[in-house]
Amino acid sequence: MNKTKQVQKKSGVNYFLDGFSLIKQPGLRRFVFIPLSINLLLFSGLIYFAIGQLENVFAWLSTQLPDYLSWLNFILWPLAVLTLLVVLSFIFSSVMNWLAAPFNGLLAEKVEQQLTGKPLNTGGGIDLIKDLPRIMGREWMKLKYYLPRAIVFLLLFWIPFVGQTIAPVLWFLFSAWMMAIQYCDYPFDNHKVPFQDMKFALNQTKGSSFSFGASVTLFSMIPILNFVVMPVAICGATAMWVDKYRSAYKNDVIAPD
């Protein structure tokens, strides 16, 4: 894949932002609604449980604090809730990628069909169920790729000076790369493109890949708004697939940035 061709010049940020328009398209709304509903229900239940545990912690803390420090509750409570929202948002988004993987692939398929006007002919619900082992296997590949690298980058935070300067930057760049892999993989996988080939394609367009992943990472840090990041990212990644990569697997061409 060493030839090039002219494609529409758009950054990864533009593709991510396009996702906000695509999720509102009439033909796509119902495919967005299913994973989004699952996301909201499970996250709401988790938040309800976590808030209950926080109340128990603060009730115990109130009995331990002297009266002249009781005002600390008014400061610590909102800080604890905000921290809880951010931490749970990151953890939950990872879990949701597993739970919603079949629906995410279906959403990517419908987005591509709407953008190209050509069906993928991947079958109906029965075929989706039959394909679950392969879909879950693909998610496992991504997890195996992610974990050892994440551990290395996290260890950098424990190194004096590096942990306060370079490590946060490297972690953000790594997170951006992983977000590009996570969401761009759905349209690639719909076409049975091997995982290694998908990484090669994204590596050939580093600018778009990193700017797209950075956009997803930044929006994922915003509580509440991160509810819609997953379908938006899938729609944006699929639009990027159509423009930059789809023809490569017909004409043996990938257009670099």
Q: What is the pLDDT of residues 36-47, one digit of tens each?
A: 777 777 777 777
CA angle 89, 18, 116 (to 5 degrees): 120
Contacts with 37 (C-beta within 8 Å, 6 or more apart), sequence order: none
Q: Supply the pLDDT for residue 160.
A: 83
Most confident of the following: 29-38, 102-111, 131-140, 201-210: 201-210
Token match 């940035």: residue? 257
| Residue 126: per-residue pLDDT | 61
Whole-angstrom CA distances from 24 to 7, 75, 128, 162, 231 are: 25, 39, 24, 43, 11
In the chain the first and final C-alpha atoms are separated, in Å, by 14
**Interval 183-197 mean pLDDT:** 92
Whole-number Å distance between alpha carbons of 243 and 142 = 24
To which residue do tokens 């604090």 refer?
A: 65
Q: Report pLDDT for 215.
A: 95
C-alpha dihedral (27, 116, 217, 132), degrees to nearest 10: 70
pLDDT of residue 210: 95
- Residue 234: the pLDDT is 94
pLDDT at 200: 94
pLDDT at 65: 66
Evaluated on CA atoms 14, 205, 214, 239, the torsion sign reads positive
Say what the pTM is.
0.76
| Span 101-115, average pLDDT | 88
186 pLDDT band (50/70/90 cuts)? very high
Residue 175 pLDDT greater than 80, yes or no: yes
Look at 104 and 58; give whichever has higher pLDDT: 104
pLDDT of residue 235: 95
- Percent of the chain at pLDDT > 90 equals 28
pLDDT tens column, 225-243: 777 888 899 999 999 999 9
Residue 207 CA: distances (Å) to CA of 4, 176, 256: 16, 11, 9
Residue pointed to by tokens 């700017």 = 211
Question: What contacts 214, CB < 8 A, 6 or more positions away?
Answer: 12, 13, 172, 176, 179
The most confident of the ranges 100-109, 158-167, 184-193 is 184-193
Please indicate whether residue 257 or residue 219 has the higher confidence score (pLDDT): 219
Query: CA–CA separation, 215 vs 210, rounded Å?
Result: 8
Neighbours of 251 (CB within 10 A): 11
pLDDT at 3 over 50: no
What's the rounded mean pLDDT across residues 194-219? 93
pLDDT per residue over 47-78, tens digit each?
Answer: 788 778 777 877 777 777 676 666 666 667 67
User: Amino acid letter at 214?
Assistant: A
